[in-house]
Amino acid sequence: MSSEKQLSLFDDWSNNNDSSESSSSESDFDFSLIPTDTKIPIPSRTYQTMKQIAVHCNQCHRCELGENRTNAVIGRGNPQAEIMIIGEAPGQNEDEQGLPFVGKSGQLLDKILESVGLSSDRHVYISNAIRCRPPENRTPSTKEIEACKPYLLEQIRLVDPKIILLTGATAVKALTGDKRGITKIRGQWLEWERRLCMPIFHPAYLLRNPSREPGKPKWLMWQDIQAVKQKLDEFEGKNNSIDF
């Protein structure tokens, strides 16, 4: 099927399902209509629910990572959260369970959030730059990131977070195009599409660098998560002092 034909059919589907969230619309959808040509963006406002995105991603072959996935990994947490956390890509555990940030990295991320009174179930929504696991857990390619970006953008639109945390350089580059190293930009507030973003270290990096000494990655993460909580409190009109 030509790219033009794919796109036009996809438009027809999205227009015909503007207000539908029913499972029948999901099961009736012809998945061959998802544009496999990565030059064709999936239009904004195509999806009304995370479930629709999940159904599509589990049928998606916009990049080669769709060939070997067990599960597409969409997200976990609260889809109405004020904070969205975006990682790099699913690993083996994530691929098997269909959830992002499970295993040791996920447990550490949960602890980091808990340290400032945030729950990973209630206060954040967690996703990744791409939804299928790269072989051998390699860094996703630019082509794969671009292929998957429409889904990420739709997730951000649906969550509508006040703050986006980008864990690691790949996540920063995937969303904002900023190619600077994570050690240079972590802890800085960046603006992307009129949203406040902060690059932070990936929890896996902290697992490899466990020292808590001042200036070391774990200590820096502690500074960053406190700044995030403070900013969230400002948004919510709370006292700026942080309660640990």
* 190 DSSP assignment: E
Compute the least distance from the CB of residue 193 to ligand SF4, in Å. Answer: 20
| Distance separating alpha carbons of residues 77 and 180, to the nearest angstrom | 29
Kindly list the distances between the CA atom of residue 32 and the CA atoms of 25, 57, 59, 89, 229, in Å, as whole numbers in the listed order. Answer: 15, 12, 9, 24, 43
**Which of 81, 118, 132, 172 contacts ligand SF4 by CB under 6 A?**
132
Closer by beta carbon to ligand SF4, 167 or else 198: 167
Closer by beta carbon to ligand SF4, 62 or else 202: 62
Compute the least distance from the CB of residue 65 to ligand SF4, in Å. Answer: 4
**Which of 7, 54, 55, 72 contacts ligand SF4 by CB under 6 A?**
72
Which span (55-63, 163-171, 176-184, 195-203) binds ligand SF4, by CB under 6 A? 55-63
Closer by beta carbon to ligand SF4, 72 or else 158: 72
**Which of 130, 166, 221, 225 contacts ligand SF4 by CB under 6 A?**
130
Structure tokens at 198: 């902060």
How many other CB atoms are there within 10 angstroms of residue 55's CB atom? Answer: 20
* 57 is a site residue for ligand SF4 (CB under 6 A): yes
Q: How buried is 166 (Cβ within 10 angstroms: 0-12 exposed, 13-18 middle, 19+ buried)? A: buried
Alpha helices in the chain (DSSP H): 3-16, 23-28, 50-57, 92-97, 103-114, 142-159, 169-176, 182-185, 203-208, 217-235
Indicate the angle between helix axes 142-159 and 169-176, nearest 10 degrees: 80
* 53 is a site residue for ligand SF4 (CB under 6 A): no
* 174 is a site residue for ligand SF4 (CB under 6 A): no
* 33 is a site residue for ligand SF4 (CB under 6 A): no
Closer by beta carbon to ligand SF4, 66 or else 106: 66
Closer by beta carbon to ligand SF4, 75 or else 217: 75
* 162 is a site residue for ligand SF4 (CB under 6 A): no
> In the chain, how many H helices and how many E strands?
10, 6
| Distance separating alpha carbons of residues 117 and 130, to the nearest angstrom | 28
Closer by beta carbon to ligand SF4, 57 or else 83: 57
**Which of 60, 83, 84, 112 contacts ligand SF4 by CB under 6 A?**
60
Sequence-distant (6+) residues with CB within 8 A of 72 are 54, 57, 58, 60, 98, 131, 132
Closer by beta carbon to ligand SF4, 17 or else 71: 71
What is the footprint of ligand SF4 within residues 204-243 (CB under 6 A)?
A: none
- Binding residues (CB under 6 A) for ligand SF4: these are 57, 60-63, 65-66, 72, 130-132, 144, 147-148
